[in-house]
A and B are shown apart, each in its own frame.
Chain A
Amino acid sequence: MALQDVCGFLETLDDISPCTYLPNEMGYMWRTPCEFDRDSAFHFLFPSQQCRRKNRAPTLFSSAFSSLSPHQQPFQLSHGTTTLGFIFQDGVIAAADTRASCKGLICCPISQKIMPIHSHLVVNTSGSGADCMLWERILTREMRLYQLRHHKRLSVNGAAKLLSMMLHPFKGTNVCVAATLCGWDEEQETRKTLQACMEIADVKEAMERDSSVSTILDESAQGCVKMASINKQDENLKDAHAMNPTVSHQNTKNVLSTFGSRSGPRVCYVCSDGLQLKGEIISVGSGSPYAYAVLDDGWRWGMTVDEAVALAREAVFRATHWDAYSGNNVDLFHITAHGWRRRDREDLKEEYYRERERKKKKIKEREKERQKKEGGELAEGEGDIYSVCCR
């Protein structure tokens, strides 16, 4: 992609396609890649208009348009996968299985469906594997360009909007991408509110606080997080807390107050047919109904990290058990204000056997308790009708 741009490589096109975003201004002007505005996010070729709207599967609404359509499906639950993402008080959890299937064949049992975009954003992909790989790269490029131009990271909702707009020209073609963007928004406002709060405090202490906290903010703003740097930041924060316990209290208060507003955990769903949703729990794929059932039951905003991880694991596990197109392993990412952290990939086959053992144990324990109870009742009241009946 980059080489193509640098070389100014021209590709010939079959059709003139009007740009659907600027109907009146541009008219029927077709721009070759060279002439395209370099700042535009739509700096790639639009699809040939001939193939558009032909392969659209009929929905309840499109009865008026008689187009060549594939066979009718009762409902479309394509995307053979289970991916999920949810937010809670301590960040975002993104989890997915690792099975890539093609009709009845498992093409790859160890594919990676969760891909990091930058230090604070991760995308769960489902749909066509090739499309997801390409669009993930395009999104990464556009977000990096935004960051370089505007000196701040694009928010998760902004990234979702951008991806949705980029996918819109391909609506009606066979592009099949259903992506869940999971990330943590960090607004510049948080730095300002922190500094404003510090100015209220003692001047001498405020200067000390400024120097320590601003270094932390600089480090976190630089992105590129691995385990080592997370630990380093944790250490820095610990130092800051040790020096000034009142500062940490103010910091947490500020973080909490800005939670619902500009910064905090976000989950956003973008689909190639145009649907774009922000929410608290999103699950996509053929295994998503099973995952939703588990998530709806166990989700609370005030969950701890361990509870959230356990919930996500269980949801994917149940989905892989029932759904033929999901399975093999589970990947789990946890995103906080410090960046994303990846849990080791876990084989769900072991989990299945472990669960069987757990169930067996539980049945045995329950049997023992019941026997104890019956034994106790017999000892206490021999003439009791109920104990006789229970036998």
Chain B
Amino acid sequence: MEYLIGIQGPDFVLVAADNVAASSIIQMKHDYDKMFKLSEKILLLCVGEAGDTVQFAEYIQKNVQLYKMRNGYELSPAAAANFTRKNLADYLRSRTPYHVNLLLAGYDEADGPGLYYMDYLSALAKAPFAAHGYGAFLTLSILDRYYRPDLTREEAVDLLKKCLEELNKRFILNLPSFTVRLIDKDGIHDMEKLPVAPK
């Protein structure tokens, strides 16, 4: 139903998410933003069950900001990812587990760019590329074929476009537009929304 994708380059991370907010069979919103800004250089992409996504993502967002206020410096992406995973794991065996699938993308001054894949069972993996949703079945092999660790930004956007074209061609649901953002040492940059016309 929902789709997230992330591609890590040598000095940037490119992430995209679809813009549909659906309620049973109706698309209630066409311009819904599924990315949550944790800090100047960390983005959390969150999909899953209706209320859980916003609730959990905002909880993490506020806690990361609280850390900055208390300690004077921001959490690194690795630390934020592990904090998120710990919270997911704590709630997993409680009576109110959060059913959310996440991608955390960030840029660290020391470690460089990082993309972290997390799922609702609180598995965490640092990956060069990752995707969530039914669309992932269709696009992971494309990423496998064409991904190289030394992609330029243009090549990464082209790879992303290839994936979205495949989705439009073979995915049964209509995902008309995607929000695309790029994180590098200068922060988070909004890129133009990608609607790809079906071929």
Interface residues of A (CB under 8 A from B): 17-18, 20, 23, 49, 52-53, 59-62, 64-65, 75-77, 164, 168, 171-172, 269, 271, 273-277, 279, 282, 288-289, 292
Contacts and interface: CB of A to CB of B under 8 A. Distances in A.
Contact of B25 (A75, A172, A277): A75
A273 B24 contact: no
A53 B95 contact: yes
Contacts, number: 63
19 contacts: A17-B95, A20-B96, A23-B91, A49-B95, A52-B96, A59-B49, A61-B49, A62-B99, A65-B97, A75-B25, A77-B25, A171-B51, A171-B96, A172-B96, A275-B28, A277-B21, A277-B28, A279-B28, A292-B26
Contacts of B55: 168, 274
Contacts of B24: 75-77
Contact of A273 (B50, B91, B94): B50
Interface string B96-115: 11010000000000000000
Nearest to A73: B24
A260 to B, nearest CB: 14
Contacts of A62: 49, 99
Nearest to A284: B23
Interface of B: 1, 21, 23-26, 28-29, 32, 48-52, 54-55, 90-91, 94-97, 99, 120-121
Nearest to B134: A60
A164 B51 contact: yes
B28 A273 contact: no
Contact of B51 (A18, A59, A76, A275): A275
B49 to A, nearest CB: 6
Nearest to B101: A61
A275 B23 contact: yes
Contacts of A168: 51, 55
A18 B94 CA distance: 10
A279 B19 CA distance: 13
A275 B90 CA distance: 23
A288 B26 contact: yes
B90 to A, nearest CB: 7
Nearest 7 pairs of A and B residues by beta carbon = A274-B51, A275-B50, A75-B24, A274-B50, A273-B50, A61-B99, A277-B29
Contacts of B50: 271, 273-275
B29 A274 contact: no
A59 B47 CA distance: 14
Q: Give the one of B51, B91, B94 with max A CB within 10 A.
A: B51
A61 B96 contact: no
